[in-house]
Amino acid sequence: MASQEDFRLQGADNFRSLKGMPTRCGRRIGGDVLLRADQLHGLTAEDWQSLKRLGLQTVCDLRSAGERERYPNRLPDSAIRELHLEVLGDVRADPRIGAMLAENPEAEAARGMMLEVYRRLPGMLAPLLPELFRVFSEENGSVLIHCTAGKDRTGVAVMLLLHALGVAPEHIMNDYLRSARRFSQLSAERQDAMSHAVSRMVGRPVNEAAFDAVVDARPEYLNAAYAVIEAEYGGLDRYLQRFSGLSTARLQTLRDTLLVA
């Protein structure tokens, strides 16, 4: 079976399995139970077969209805379940956030916009967490979490799951930073789509440095989500106790199910 380091999909730029990620109790995530990716509309038939070999059972799509309509996943068969958990507080889902660039379409304004996105994400994700955790608690097989870029909504959702499993913050951050991109590294199709979407929201051209701030994964972005959780909810443990839907016993069962020695 492919490891998280060597497994690739032809039609997704930001896919990986979190198999083998260590936790503070000395165990690791066993098997390809937690997968993460960007949007899936470009997956080939071979890609879907590869995912089925990894045991894919459920796709958790965090995108808005508009995003899903523009770029549908087109799951290859009914054996794979699709779960729509819309997170709307993202630059790609909420045009009002993109409008923050309208007055100043430069890199610093884009950075400020992204920090605001990450400050909003814990609140936007909170009502969706019981269903997300239920998928991992009650169903067998692999679960793939994705959004459009696979780093903002997906990044914070995966951070919460990994913390619940006992993964240390430095490992969570290292995984998050694997989603870092530059605009010039994106495919021509993705560059065109992003340019069109952002220009439509902002109403004027945006320079490449600003695009870089939007597509990048920076420590300060994820740390902005951590800071809001600490200030408004009393820290990650209290946040998860309040919103995950899991009792202490069920959380331990989840760890025992997904982790191996």
| Domain edges within the chain | 16-260
Give the tokens for residue 134. Answer: 């239920």
Name the class of domain 16-260: alpha beta
Mean pLDDT of the chain: 90
CA–CA separation, 261 and 255 (whole Å): 11
Question: Is residue 149's pLDDT more than 80?
Answer: yes
Strands (E), the chain: 16-17, 28-29, 34-37, 56-61, 81-84, 142-146, 259-260
Whole-model pTM over 0.95: no
Residue 83: HSE in the Cβ half-sphere, 13 Å Cα cutoff: 20
pLDDT in tens, 181-209: 888 888 887 788 777 767 766 777 778 89
d(CA 51, CA 220): 32
Of 56, 62, 239, residue with least CA distance to 142:
56
